Structures are given as structure tokens and as C-alpha cells.
Amino acid sequence: MTTPRNDTTPAELDATLERAATAFPLLAGLAPDQRAVLLRTVADALDADADELVPLAMAEAHYPEARCRGELARTTFQLRLFAETLEEGSFLGAAVDPADPDWGTPRPDVRRLMLPLGPVVVFGAGNFPFAFATAGGDTASALAAGCPVVVKAHPGHPGLARRTADLVTTALAGAGAPDGTFALVEGMETGRRAVTHPLTRAVGFTGSVAGGRALYDLAVSRPDPIPFYGELGSVNPVFVTNAAAAARGPEILSGYAESATLGSGQFCTKPGVLLLPEETDLTPLTGALADRGPAPLLNDRVEQVFSDTLGTLADHPATEVLLRGGPTGEGWTPTLLRTDLGSLIEHADVLLEECFGPATLVVTYEDERRLLEVGAALRGQLTVTVHGEEADPLAPALLSLGSSLAGRVIWNGWPTGVAVTHAMTHGGPYPATTAPIHTSVGTAAIQRFLRPVSFQSVPQSLLPRALRDGNPLGVPRSVNGVHEQS
């Protein structure tokens, strides 16, 4: 199925961002619980249209139906969770410091509130056509913050993007959102123009290191640089200690095979490197991978990059091919490569590149303590996973290594499947993201689109209501730096 291109013209983009800028103060001025209604209305509209949306996703992203239905459910759950976040109110960061003549600096009355940044441009991911795309996490968190959103449609699923955008636009209009609250634009050049457009105040991006870095470079080169929240790439290493391999080797290997091939290995959290003792019997892994049938990749471009990256890895003198997969008429079968710990460290620049697709690398070690040396070879990660036993002497050091490298550290589990919760971090140092102090999944993602504003000596009647004496909105606040008891 081919959907004809429909690139947004520069004049259309200007008009779109002008509508977004006009909508901004109106959207920002809505009470949080009014914005919550908007998000729920969007979620309801998407759920109601599932039987139309899911086949579009299946056709354009080549995923099975269950995966698409599950991802849509995750997406509407996410919208509703941000509605709850708005109603709960902690995101406002409300803080009250009354005047204090005995303070260490002259101290007038100072009160802080988090306010939205302005129009946000969102680049959705190709591999999550719902949850990280048109109405995905970046869109949900920016709208929740009170920022109008202009989504640049992913070229991998233009039909789904358009239908989703129509539903979102109609739902928002029906719920009384300001005109310009949401829009879809198309075309690669349009995306670049949107990042450099004077009215754009922040960018959310999920995709490749190459694509994300190019757009990041545009955002930071503007006359007025703007925040660019890019979630780029990760190899998501999995460390297996001697004790864990001895206790649960086959179980770990079959779990790994499943996680590494979810979505044909096209997850940003795909475990790409498995480090385990050299005496481990790899049969459960090779067997499980060999049993996987072929699965199609997202699109020709993903397939080309995967084929090239895999070729470089497989041809590298430091690797051997334990299972040679490849393209069939119905997609790709998985490939398993192997190297040893010393070679991994020596050739980290090649062997620790993300290989997005159904391939993974086993790294065997002789001496467990050398696992810690891998830290210096690894760049920033979305996740680090440790399989160990609770009394494992190396466990604390591996968890500590993980927390220094990644935004999420997983114990005896798998990195695929990022729960949408309050305490979740989907982020990490570059190149996992371009903004290491943030998360793009979970309710804390809203913070990326809010800026603090402090009001000094402003009379009660002119203060935002969340900051007035007596806390008339009943929002969580800090007073003198301490959580206010309600």
C-alpha cells in the first residue's frame, strides 16, 4: 500500500505555527482539569476508532494485530494518565516562600509556578506508530503541559498519521480546545523548517541517532536555541553474572531471545548485547532464535540500514556468526553473533553500535570481574540490565555501573516494555538522548515542556490562583521548601 506524498508547503507550515502560537495563550490559560478533559476526549476518540486505526497500522508498519491493538491501548492509557496528572497538580511545581525579614538575603514574597513553553514540534517514531507517534507520549505530555503541538508525520505510516491527526483534531475541536492546538505536517524538509521556525519553542523527537542529531544541530544553531528532547539510540547491554548463569542459564537465554526479537528487534530498548560466562551453553538461545519465523521490517529504509549495520558486524574479524539469519520472502530471520569481552572493548566503536533489527551479539567472558571494564567502552544507554543472584558479590557494582550509564536499570528482567508510570525514566546520557536529565515516558515527561516563573510581591488578587494564600485550588505545594500538608 502506498500513500501519496503530501508535503506541507512553507506557507502552510507558517500558517500552522501561527495558529499554534495563537492557540498557545488560550490553551495555557485553561485550568488543568479543563486540559484533562481534552486529553480524555482524544483518548476516547482513538479507542472508538480502533477498528479503523489498527488495520492501517498493520498495513503500514507490518506488525501483527495484537501488537497494534496493545500499542493503541497503551497510547490511550497514556493520554488518560496525563489527564490524572493534570488533576493531581504536582506538575505545577507550586512553591510559596513568604517574605522573611530574618532570611540570609533580603527576601520579599516569592511564589513559583511551572508554565508551558509554547508551541512544540513532535517527530514521532517509525517503530511505535501509536505510542511514540502522532498521539503518542511527546504529544500527550506537551498538550498536558499546555503547549500546542505540531506533529511532523512519520513517512513510514502516513495514512495512519493522517487518520490519527484527523481524529485528534476533531476531538479537540469538539471538546472546545482553541483552534491550532494540534496539527499534522508532512515532509522531511518541512520537519527541518519546523525545528528552525521562530515560533517553535521546543522539539520532541524519537528516532535514529543520525536523524535526531541532524535536527538537534538545527535546534541549537538557531539565533535563539530551543530545547530539543531527542530519544536516539541504545544497545541496552545485559550483564549475566556467573552465579545467575549457573542458576538460571537456559531461562535467561530464552527470555533474552524473546526480548531481543520483539517487534523484529525494532525497539529502542532491544537488548543488543548479552554478556555471559564463556562456558555457558548457548543452545537455548540459538535454538529459540532459529525457531523464530521470518518477520517483516518496518520499511525499506530500516531494512537497508539494518542490512548494512549487520553486514559490518558479521564481517568484522572479531565476531563469529552463531546463527545466520537473513531476508526471506516474508521478512528477516534473526542473526546471532558472538565475540569475547576483550574484543568487545578493543573494537567498541564498531561492536557497540546500535543494530536496529533482528540481530544480537553475545559477548563471552572468562573473568567476571572484567565485566566492569565494559563501562568505559559503553556510551550513554536507555537501559542496562543485570541478571544476578541477590548475594552476588558483583551485583552492587554492576547496578552502580548501570545507573552511571543508563536512565533505567533492570534486575533479572528485560528492557523491552517501558511501563508508563510516575517513577519511570526513559532516557539517559547521549546518545541515548540529547537531554540526559529528562524522561520521555511516564508522567515526569511533562516537565520537559514547562518552565518556572516566579512572582515577586504580587498581590493576592493578581496571583495565579494556585499560588494564593490558603491554596484555593488545593494543589500540592511546597512552602519554605517543604511539602505543604493539606
**Interaction residues for a second copy, span 215-244 (CB under 8 A):** 216-217, 220-221, 224-227
Among 23, 427, 446, 475, which residue sits at the site for a second copy (rule: CB under 8 A)? 427
Please confirm, yes or no, whether 231 is among the known catalytic residues: yes
Check binding of 423 to a second copy (CB under 8 A). yes
| Choices 73-81, 191-199, 261-269, 360-368 (CB under 8 A): range interacting with a second copy | 73-81
CB of 385 to a second copy, least distance (A): 9
CB of 300 to a second copy, least distance (A): 29
CA dihedral of residues 429, 435, 439, 444 (deg, nearest 10)? 140
**Nearest residue (CB) to a second copy, 216 versus 306:** 216
Which cell numbers hold the place of 448?
520537559
Check binding of 248 to a second copy (CB under 8 A). no
CA dihedral of residues 292, 293, 297, 298 (deg, nearest 10)? -90
Among 27, 81, 142, 253, which residue sits at the site for a second copy (rule: CB under 8 A)? 81
Which cell numbers hold the place of 412?
533479572
| Choices 85-93, 255-263, 273-281, 311-319 (CB under 8 A): range interacting with a second copy | 85-93
Residues 273-312 that bind a second copy (CB under 8 A): none
Check binding of 117 to a second copy (CB under 8 A). yes
Catalytic position from the list 68, 147, 268, 355: 268
Among 64, 198, 417, 472, which residue sits at the site for a second copy (rule: CB under 8 A)? 417
Residues 347-376 that bind a second copy (CB under 8 A): none
Residues 27-56 that bind a second copy (CB under 8 A): none
Q: Give the Cα separation of 448 and 160 in Å (integer).
A: 26
Check binding of 101 to a second copy (CB under 8 A). no
Q: What is the 3-state secondary structure (H, E, C) of 440-481?
A: CCCHHHHHHHEEEEEEECCCHHHCCHHHCCCCCCCCCEEECC
Check binding of 459 to a second copy (CB under 8 A). yes
Which H helix or E strand runs over 234?
none
Q: Give the Cα separation of 411 and 351 in Å (integer).
A: 24
Check binding of 410 to a second copy (CB under 8 A). yes
- Residues 6 or more apart whose CB falls under 8 angstroms from that of 103 comprise none
- How many residues bind a second copy (CB under 8 A)? The answer is 92
**Nearest residue (CB) to a second copy, 357 versus 415:** 415
| Choices 92-100, 133-141, 289-297, 340-348 (CB under 8 A): range interacting with a second copy | 92-100
Q: Give the Cα separation of 6 and 408 in Å (integer).
A: 39
Residue 118 — left, alpha, or beta (φ > 0 → left; ψ -120 to 50 → alpha)?
A: left
DSSP SS3 for 320: strand
- In whole angstroms, what separates CA 88 from the centre of its chain? 23
By the 10 Å C-beta count (0-12 exposed, 13-18 middle, 19+ buried), 396 is classed as exposed
- Residues 6 or more apart whose CB falls under 8 angstroms from that of 396 comprise none
**Nearest residue (CB) to a second copy, 34 versus 90:** 90
Among 189, 421, 469, 472, which residue sits at the site for a second copy (rule: CB under 8 A)? 421
Please confirm, yes or no, whether 147 is among the known catalytic residues: no
The phi, psi pair for 482, rounded to 5°, reads: -120, 140
CB of 294 to a second copy, least distance (A): 26
**Nearest residue (CB) to a second copy, 122 versus 418:** 418
Check binding of 129 to a second copy (CB under 8 A). no
Which H helix or E strand runs over 390?
none
The residue behind cell 490511550 is: 76
Check binding of 25 to a second copy (CB under 8 A). yes
Among 210, 324, 453, 472, which residue sits at the site for a second copy (rule: CB under 8 A)? 453
Catalytic position from the list 186, 231, 354, 368: 231
**431 cis-preceded (ω within 30 degrees of 0):** yes
Check binding of 394 to a second copy (CB under 8 A). no
Residues identified as active-site? 231, 268
